Amino acid sequence: MSEHIRISEAEGAVMKLLWEKEPLSAGEIIERLQHQTDWSDQTIKTFLNRLLNKEAIRFEKTGRTYLYYPIVTRDQYMKAENRSFLNRVYDGAVGLMCAKFLEDEKLSESDIEQLQQLLDKKRKDG
């Protein structure tokens, strides 16, 4: 069942673009990525192809241009990555993990408030 599609880091960069705006043509994807990275167009095409093979994205051929759409959602991706990270590094100990992040990373005021609200809600009906 859907056999746990694994999206690599570089492939993730492509997916992020498609999650922002869908669909995108190969040209658009290449252009945007070349602003952020130093990948050649061929390299980016490779990633598109691998994502197609993994069925993480699909395309629709409208006349001359291929338009790409994500199949895997950002939410699915984040959830899967979270799980594997949490288990790999923290053996599933969410509390420890969050604590470590809060300890090391800078959070804005609004981040903090937002998290406090989430925690409150979780305490009530979690």
Q: How many CA atoms lie within 13 A of 88 on its CB side?
A: 6
Member of 15, 18, 47, 56 binding DNA (CB under 7 A): 47
Calpha distance 82→28 (Å, rounded): 29
Q: How far apart are CA 68 and CA 23, in angstroms?
A: 5
Residue 55 or 81: the one with the smaller Cβ distance to a copy of itself is 81
Give the range of 41-49, 69-77, 99-107, 111-119 binding DNA by CB under 7 A. 41-49
Smallest gap from residue 104 Cβ to DNA (A): 22
73 is in the binding site of which of DNA, a copy of itself, none (Cβ under 5 to 8 A by kind)?
none
Q: Binding partner of residue 40 among a copy of itself, DNA, none, CB under 5 to 8 Å per kind?
A: DNA
